[in-house]
């Protein structure tokens, strides 16, 4: 399969040269065979093989898996034990480049699986699991050998780009052994099988998987290595246990996996090729000449001078730049599972009607798209469509939240119900936000265009129509006291309390617990080049406020930074000393309890935190100067795992800590393992 992709990629490398305004010349003409790469598709569904319990850590044959047809996403496999198999290898994939309106060939580290789309290897397959299931995930690392990747003590210098492992982001499973263990390394030409025991009380929801090997995480995820991981279940709530939101949402589903592939082509001196202005100064975008192959070569591609905006790259949806989203019907609800599988930048999704006078969006080159969107999509007086947010990071919200934007930071997921009132086209826009990594204004970018076919007449009040549909779904599946509660909740501000798996953490639960403090820090005094510099101690986390003379500590694999008691309940204060960083912790999610800036509650006024108070998440944006409080229960699982910044090149360079949940000693501490 990999050879096939190479051949295909090579065929795409030929073509004419398109002259662009400004004198720069780059790119290839559009081969007709890749036109389908301008159309949205859900990622392929990973196929399941029978488990092979007699061969622990022996991967089932990829060929055997390939011969099976895909399972529909909507039907989780009913078997108690299932196995998936992912091969990791290099592939050359065509990526549409709106600057040249042609395809660049890009060599990427990719996940492959039987049933995957050979034409779009960026399309990592969607993995489906269900509560109570044992799931084996076999990885077969077929990347080329790493050359000279022993970094000695410099583990916070990116290294060993072809070693990998797997993180099931957001899953509440054991972090140790061959469960969700990211402290292991799978070298090239090595196979390893993870095994997750998904507990039978795991919430259904939208999670994702990606590599998490310290030193190569960013370069691999920015290659598009990341896929949807969906827990499917249809449990009905009872008077004492929650149910799965899926039973209230009998709608067509889509997965929108947002990827940020910051590829570059390099000149003969090893410098990134860029466009140039008339004075010869390098400007966006990065360019590739015909016949060149873009690549993720090293971490210079992530900063400090090489931010996402500087690269001119576009966020992909399911492996495609600016696809046309088809198959939508007017007047129908859909459930969109949106996953930020990128590395750095905010994705602020808004949907606007497209004025038919705008013509075919495919004809608009990148340089003209901002003006085109301002005129035909997000024009003055035109409002973004409402969506109805039902879950954050895979966890059901306390109530349905109406919003005109889905603001995703790296690692975030948002499940939202969408509704297109009329047939026609709509712009999907990554709208302006001023709150990226460095709080710089990010330009509005076109993510894609949705084409909506005629369907049902528009509802006079879509929000009321959604409530009616959810009430009907409840009435068809629930009875008695539970139905009365769910109906009452929906009629009372669209509350979803019977579908929330984590009760709010009460003040009384915190009695006697140790508060924790966390500060992200980029210690620029240590770094000759500032943010993104290669000084190995620059990226840090601290357990106390940063003060002069007391910075944080860069990651050390040999140090446990926090000992946390199993069964404990804690409140953490999250801060960031320099720049904005998304905080992510494995295993146990947390509840957002306060967001303050300068001592003032900004939870209702800052759009980055709108609707987050009281909700449960596993990843949370921490802005410089803010003080955010979250609460967690350490339930069921012991062992060592990590917390880190989800700007993954920060993580690779040291913005990470080891934490250990361990058994209490009965006296307020944690029992020593010594005997
Ligand atoms: Cu960071």
pLDDT tens digits, 36-95: 677 888 887 777 765 443 333 333 333 333 333 333 344 567 778 889 999 999 888 889
Would you state the structure tokens that stand for residue 182, as one six-digit string?
Answer: 């990211």
Task: Give the DSSP letter of residue 322.
Answer: S
Q: Is 487 helix (H, G, I), strand (E, B) or coil?
A: helix
Its sign, for the CA torsion 30, 32, 34, 40, is positive
- Ligand 1 centroid to Cα of residue 653, in Å, is 10
Predicted pLDDT of residue 437: 54
- Ligand 1 centroid to Cα of residue 384, in Å, is 30
- Ligand 1 centroid to Cα of residue 425, in Å, is 37
Distance of CA 609 to the CA centre of its chain: 18
Task: Determine contact, residues 92/107, Cβ cutoff 8 Å.
Answer: yes
- Ligand 1 centroid to Cα of residue 492, in Å, is 39
Predicted pLDDT of residue 440: 52
- Ligand 1 centroid to Cα of residue 351, in Å, is 29
Predicted pLDDT of residue 115: 41
**CA nearest neighbour of 611 among 622, 598, 595, 623:** 595
- Ligand 1 centroid to Cα of residue 645, in Å, is 5
- Ligand 1 centroid to Cα of residue 521, in Å, is 8
- Ligand 1 centroid to Cα of residue 442, in Å, is 17
Q: What order of strands is seen across the sheet that includes strand 347-353?
A: 324-329, 445-453, 424-430, 347-353, 406-408
Predicted pLDDT of residue 119: 56
The string of DSSP letters for 74-129 reads TS---SSEEEEEEEEEEEEEEEEETTTTEEEEEEEEEEE-TT--TT-TT-PPBEEE
Residue 428 half-sphere exposure, CB side, CA atoms within 13 Å? Answer: 28
CA distances for 226 relative to 490, 596, 612, angstroms: 35, 33, 25
- Ligand 1 centroid to Cα of residue 582, in Å, is 6
Residue 277 neighbours by CB distance under 10 Å = 11
- Ligand 1 centroid to Cα of residue 659, in Å, is 18
As a whole number of angstroms, the distance between CA 220 and CA 226 comes to 9
- Ligand 1 centroid to Cα of residue 655, in Å, is 7
pLDDT tens-digit profile of 587-596? 999 999 999 9
Predicted pLDDT of residue 65: 34
As a whole number of angstroms, the distance between CA 149 and CA 555 comes to 18
pLDDT tens-digit profile of 159-183? 999 999 999 999 999 999 999 999 9
As a whole number of angstroms, the distance between CA 101 and CA 104 comes to 10
- Ligand 1 centroid to Cα of residue 243, in Å, is 35
The helix (H) or strand (E) run that includes residue 489 is helix 480-491
Predicted pLDDT of residue 442: 62
Predicted pLDDT of residue 34: 54
- Ligand 1 centroid to Cα of residue 156, in Å, is 14
Residue 257 half-sphere exposure, CB side, CA atoms within 13 Å? Answer: 30
Ranges in the chain, pLDDT < 50: 1-33, 51-74, 115-116, 439, 530-533
pLDDT tens-digit profile of 457-514? 999 999 999 999 999 999 999 999 999 999 999 999 999 999 999 999 999 999 888 8
- Ligand 1 centroid to Cα of residue 574, in Å, is 13
Token pair 């030193």: residue:
215
- Ligand 1 centroid to Cα of residue 196, in Å, is 28
Q: Is the peptide bond before 285 cis (omega within 30 degrees of 0)?
A: yes
Question: Pairing relation of β-strands 516-522 and 293-295?
Answer: unpaired
Predicted pLDDT of residue 523: 85
Bridge partners of 353, per DSSP, are 426
Q: Where are the beta strands (DSSP E) in 288-379?
A: 293-295, 316-317, 320-321, 324-329, 333-340, 347-353
Total number of residues shown for the chain: 675
- Ligand 1 centroid to Cα of residue 579, in Å, is 7
Task: Determine contact, residues 430/447, Cβ cutoff 8 Å.
Answer: yes
- Ligand 1 centroid to Cα of residue 541, in Å, is 10
Predicted pLDDT of residue 36: 65
Token pair 């598709």: residue:
41
Task: Determine contact, residues 288/104, Cβ cutoff 8 Å.
Answer: yes
As a whole number of angstroms, the distance between CA 571 and CA 510 comes to 7
């Amino acid at each position: 399969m990999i050879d096939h992709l190479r051949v295909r990629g090579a065929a795409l490398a030929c073509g004419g040269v398109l002259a662009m305004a400004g004198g720069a010349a780059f790119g290839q003409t559009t081969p007709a065979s890749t036109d389908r790469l301008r159309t949205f598709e859900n990622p392929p569904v990973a196929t399941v093989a029978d488990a092979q319990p007699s061969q622990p850590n022996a991967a089932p044959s990829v060929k055997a898996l390939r011969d099976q047809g895909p399972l529909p996403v909507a039907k989780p496999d009913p078997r108690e034990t299932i196995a998936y198999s992912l091969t990791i290898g290099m592939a050359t994939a065509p990526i549409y480049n709106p600057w040249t309106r042609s395809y660049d060939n890009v060599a990427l580290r990719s996940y492959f699986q039987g049933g995957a789309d050979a034409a779009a290897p960026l399309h990592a397959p969607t993995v489906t699991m269900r509560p109570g299931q044992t799931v084996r995930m076999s990885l077969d690392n077929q990347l080329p050998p790493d050359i000279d990747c022993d970094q000695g003590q410099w583990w916070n210098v990116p290294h060993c780009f072809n070693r990998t492992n797997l993180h099931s982001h957001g899953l509440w499973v054991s972090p140790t052994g061959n469960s969700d263990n990211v402290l292991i390394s799978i070298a090239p030409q090595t196979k390893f099988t993870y095994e997750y025991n998904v507990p039978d009380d795991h919430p259904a929801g939208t999670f994702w998987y990606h590599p998490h090997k310290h030193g190569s995480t960013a370069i691999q995820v920015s290659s598009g290595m990341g896929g949807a991981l969906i827990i499917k279940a249809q449990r009905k709530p009872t008077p004492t246990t929650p149910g799965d939101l899926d039973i209230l949402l009998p709608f067509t589903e889509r997965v929108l996996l947002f990827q940020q592939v910051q590829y570059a082509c390099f000149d003969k001196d090893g410098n990134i090729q860029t466009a140039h202005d008339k004075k010869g100064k390098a400007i966006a975008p990065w360019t590739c000449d015909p016949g060149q192959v873009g690549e993720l070569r090293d971490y210079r591609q992530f900063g400090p001078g090489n931010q996402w905006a500087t690269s001119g790259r576009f966020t992909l949806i399911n492996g495609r730049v600016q696809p046309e989203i088809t198959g939508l019907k007017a007047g129908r609800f859909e459930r969109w599972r949106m996953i930020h599988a990128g590395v750095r930048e905010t994705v602020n999704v808004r949907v606007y009607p497209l004025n038919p006078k705008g013509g075919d969006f495919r004809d608009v080159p990148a340089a003209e798209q901002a003006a085109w969107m301002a005129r035909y999509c997000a024009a003055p007086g035109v409002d973004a469509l409402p969506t109805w947010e039902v879950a954050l990071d895979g966890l059901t919200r306390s109530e349905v939240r109406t919003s005109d934007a889905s603001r995703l930071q790296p690692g975030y997921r948002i499940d939202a119900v969408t509704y297109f009132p009329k047939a026609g086209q709509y712009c999907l826009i990554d709208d302006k936000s001023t709150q990226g990594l460095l709080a710089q204004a990010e330009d509005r970018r076109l993510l894609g265009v949705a084409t909506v076919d005629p369907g049902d007449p528009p509802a006079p009040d879509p929000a009321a129509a959604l409530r009616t549909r959810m009430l009907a779904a409840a009435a068809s599946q629930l009875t008695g006291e539970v139905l009365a509660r769910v109906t009452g909740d929906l009629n009372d501000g669209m509350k979803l309390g019977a579908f929330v798996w984590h009760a709010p953490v009460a003040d009384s639960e915190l009695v006697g617990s140790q508060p924790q403090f966390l500060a992200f820090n980029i210690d620029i005094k240590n770094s000759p080049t500032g943010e993104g510099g290669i000084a190995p101690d620059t990226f840090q986390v601290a357990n106390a406020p940063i003060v002069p003379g007391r910075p944080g500590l860069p990651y050390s694999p040999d140090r446990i930074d926090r000992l946390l008691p199993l069964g404990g309940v804690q409140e953490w204060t999250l801060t960031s000393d320099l720049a904005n960083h998304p905080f992510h912790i494995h295993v146990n999610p947390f509840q957002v309890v306060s967001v303050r800036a300068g001592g003032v509650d900004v939870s209702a006024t800052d759009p980055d935190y709108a609707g987050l108070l009281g909700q449960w998440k596993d990843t949370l944006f921490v802005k410089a100067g803010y003080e955010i409080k979250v609460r967690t229960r350490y339930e069921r699982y012991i062992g060592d795992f990590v917390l880190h910044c989800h700007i993954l090149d920060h993580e690779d360079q040291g913005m990470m800590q080891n934490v250990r949940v361990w058994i209490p000693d009965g006296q307020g501490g944690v029992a020593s393992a010594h005997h």
